[in-house]
Amino acid sequence: MAHYEYDAVVVGSGPNGLAAGIALQQAGLSVLLIEGQKAIGGGLRTSELTLPGFKHDVCSAIHPMAAGSPFFQSLPLTEHGLEYIQPPAAAAHPFDDGTAAILTSSIDKTAELLGKDRLPYLRLIEPLLNDWPKIAADVLGPLQFPIYPIKMAEFGLKALPSASRLSNYFSTEKAKGLWAGMAAHSIQPLSHMTTSAIGLVLMTAGHLYGWPLPKGGSQSIANALASYFVSLGGKIETDQWIHSLKQLPSSRAILFDLTPRQLLKIAGDQFSPLYRWQLNNYKYGMGVFKVDWALDGPVPFKATECKQAGTLHLGNTFQEIALSEKEIWSGKHPKAPFVLLAQQSAFDPSRAPEGKQTLWGYCHVPHGSTVDMTNAIEDQVERFAPGFKDRILARHTMNTIQMESYNPNYIGGDINGGVIDLTQLYTRPALRLSPYKTSAKGIYICSSSTPPGGGVHGMCGYYAAKRALKDIFKTPIMPLKPFLN
């Protein structure tokens, strides 16, 4: 019988790699997790990018999906140092007239503030709040026969249409604008099918779990996951870039928290011609241009509601946001792009020196763009917060190429691990009985290029580990604790 140094090796320590390592280690295996960077985390990293004492989230910032992840909820992460901070409002969407729509933990309050669209909002979202505990693991997983098929079908009827079509639920600009900001997280034109899905999930998560930020920075989530993994007996090695399977210690299974392009470079010669063809034809989407600011005080938003929100969506009306995303998809750079902002230090004083603030933001850009969008982004912030530019002490920018250089999973600046459209919703990265299983025995992919896609939730890693345990180790995975426990 062959001797293996480890039962399983996981390459990449993003949230999905860490989740996969934890799930395998929970099953009693010996697991090695390898990270190329000197620090673990992937998209979960915090650093002083601008000035000393200003702690910026380098990639992800606000974490509704982490707080609502069925897998993360089953882990004792608070015992390993993770603490979430809940802003009074999850998200705010300001308009040119000085008003704002807000998403709060209360569905009734959120709906009430939408005026004439109170009842339409309740009819759209309230059933999801009731059903989410039953369908979450299926929505955030591979295509399989659901535990509650009727509930899943009802969700699908709302999630599959385009955000543009679903906007017809509403009659007011305020409700339509709030909806556009949520759906624009899909990083596609809002006329595309399935763009409603992410908006519905984010709104549901906001009401059930809020849109929290981890105290001390996003790195805190990675540190807690790693601490728990090591407490189970897992081993982590950093500062090791893997370019070939020959670099890896012997094991019965290898799980890659990488996208198809990187996986092909490392293990492409092990795959069947059909599987190689599928990976080569995998579609990556629009990128992001990101700015981090050190500020000499809070952002002076015109709408007071914005000062209570951890996340801001800047784009005014549904029409403006839809046009911006459409132009970017066609390769253009809009003068007034849709901008996502996070003001973590407004609620977590550990992020900045006393009296100062950090601000995190990005806009979507064409795949691989190197155009500097700093002025366009800052003009959008100034539009809704006059005097913002006067408070800038320093800034740090990253275009799509710099984003990919920092985190190789962000191909062309695509932070979702590939387009999450109708053709790649459940068949990412290839059309197979299991999307996590490659054509080579013992090799699996557990990144955001598998269902359910981008976001800090660890579900890609959990389901990939579940598949490997079934195929290789003939071991059932520990069932998740009941959702909401």
Distance CA 466, CA 483 (A): 18
- 168 is written with which tokens? 């017809």
In 3-state terms, what secondary structure has residue 216? coil
**Residues 140, 346: Cα–Cα separation, whole Å:** 31
**CA dist., res. 405 & res. 403, Å (int):** 5
Q: Which of 386, 381, 369, 448 is nearest to 415 (CA)?
A: 448
Per-residue buried b or exposed e for 80-89, using 16+ beta carbons within 10 Å of the residue's own CB = bebebeebeb
> Could you read off the pLDDT of 304-319 as tens digits, one per residue?
999 999 999 999 999 9
Model pLDDT, residue 481? 64
pLDDT at residue number 1 = 56
Q: Is the domain defined by 6-46+55-81+214-282+412-471 classed in CATH 3.50.50.60? A: yes
Q: How far apart are CA 413 and CA 383, in angstroms?
A: 26
Q: Sketch the domain layout of the chain as residue ranges.
A: 6-46+55-81+214-282+412-471, 86-212+285-406
Distance from chain centroid for Cα 19: 14
Gyration radius from the chain CA atoms: 21
Rounded Cα–Cα distance for residues 191 and 195 (Å): 8
Which two tokens mark 64? 């509704």
Q: Which of 211, 382, 434, 183 is nearest to 311 (CA)?
A: 211
What's the CATH fold of domain 86-212+285-406? Polyamine Oxidase; Chain A, domain 2 (3.90.660)
**pLDDT for residue 476:** 81
> For residues 410 and 318, is the Cβ–Cβ distance under 8 A?
no
pLDDT at residue 477, as a whole number: 76
pLDDT at 483: 35
Residues of the chain with pLDDT under 50: 482-485
Q: Token digits for 345?
A: 């230090």
